[in-house]
Amino acid sequence: MIRTTSPAISPSPKGHPFAGAFAMLGPHMAALNLFLQGQLAAFEPEIRAMVNYCIDTSGKRIRPALVFLSGWTDSEAVSPDLVRAAAVVELVHLATLVHDDIMDSAEVRRNRMTAMREFGPTAAVLLGDALFAHALHLATHFPTTEVCAAVSESTRRVCAGEIVQSMRRRSTDLTPADYQRIIDLKTAELFRVSCYLGARLADYEGGYVDALDRFGRHLGIAYQIYDDLADFFGREEKIGKTLGTDLANGKLTLPLFVLMDRLPPFERETLSGEIGGLQPSQPALRLKQMLALGVFDAVEAAVQGEVSAACAALAEWPGHPPTHHLLALGDVLLAQAASLRPAG
């Protein structure tokens, strides 16, 4: 059934890593939800219910938040341009999630069935395509081609990152540089373009737009490293998706790199076999080893390093309205990463 009433606004869903920093965005997120619901009518009647399933309001809406905060001004009003740009980046993100979940055969995301599970892989491929296409269509409603150009290029980069990741799955010769490249493309790119678009649409000067662009990129890298740490140390009911999938799927992420580096040679070979899919993965053992060998600390330090780099990009612009809010966002991410640390 197509939900015809606007759903309750929940700008701070359970487990939202940035919930604290988003409190002020209530009206913005409400406007975004309303706008997204309004887009349903643009889709062919036959697929509206599926699209509605995908644009549900339980998402974290991090990228829209970056658009809103990077375009923050002293005005109280919610800018319709920012709402539209936020919808564009969110729809692109949702489309990539729909396609990711096919590839990961993921069953649960945001505490409910994935689109892949709900509608089958075939419909999910096409539904993701339709979301992409509509995102780019919305981007053409700006006066110039700039937004559409930026978003289509970012989308291609996100896909390239995902392809590289999927091709290197179960590959044990992945280097930390490869990992950096993958997360730069698959995650940091859309964070970056969100900040860029917010700043551009708020008409900030070139130097500040560049600074926000750099902020977004580093925050995106920090966020992905946090997310990779959460795959090992998070609690499913809090994060809202199946965890522990990276080791099981042979995805070599930073926590595994560091563990690999610190294990004695024989143990390293066993772990390598788990990543390569030659041996069943032993998540409990790996978690124990990560704690014993200080892997958590090292990965948390990497998150801190990227958040610092993000904040440093804004150092020259202390007085601009977005700066304060974005720095606070960095702090919230650090607090979230710290909160993953197991007690005791």
Footprint on this chain of a second copy (rule: CB under 8 A): 42-44, 46-47, 50, 95-96, 99, 102-103, 121-123, 125-130, 132-134, 136-137, 139-145, 148-149, 152-153, 155-157, 159-164, 166-167, 185
* CB count in 10 Å sphere of residue 48: 16
Cβ of residue 286: shortest distance to a second copy, in angstroms?
24
Using CA atoms, how far apart are residues 144 and 79, in angstroms rounded to an integer? 17
Give min distance, CB of 71 to a second copy, in A: 20
d(CA 91, CA 100): 14
Smallest gap from residue 109 Cβ to a second copy (A): 17
Residue number with CB closer to a second copy (194 or 323): 194
**DSSP string of 40-75, one letter each residue:** GGGS-GGGHHHHHHHT-TTS--HHHHHHHHHT--S-
175 sits in which H/E element: none
Q: How far apart are CA 54 and CA 114, in angstroms?
A: 9
Residue 177 burial (C-beta neighbours within 10 Å; 0-12, 13-18, 19+): exposed
Minimal distance, residue 253 CB to a second copy, in Å: 18
DSSP labels, 260-283: HHHS-HHHHHHHHHHHTTSS---H
Choose between 153 and 203: whose C-beta lies nearer to a second copy: 153
Q: Rounded CA gap, 334 and 316, in Å?
A: 22
Pick the closer one to a second copy by CB: 133 or 312.
133
Of 39, 251, 28, 67, residue with least CA distance to 133: 39
- Of the pair 42, 335, the CB lying nearest a second copy is at 42
What is the distance between the alpha carbons of residues 82 and 189, in angstroms, rounded to a whole number? 18
Considering beta carbons, is residue 122 or 339 the nearer one to a second copy?
122
Minimum distance of a second copy from residue 188's CB (angstroms): 14
Q: Which is nearer to a second copy, 157 or 217 (CB)?
A: 157
Q: How far is residue 324 from each of residues 69, 99, 174, 320, measured CA to CA in Å?
A: 9, 35, 38, 8
Nearer to a second copy, 89 or 326 (CB): 89
In the complex, what is the shortest distance from the CB of residue 106 to a second copy, in angstroms, rounded to a whole number? 13
Residue 135, token pair as written in the block: 């995102």
CB of 185 to a second copy, least distance (A): 7
Smallest gap from residue 170 Cβ to a second copy (A): 12
- 16 vs 186 by CB, closer to a second copy: 186
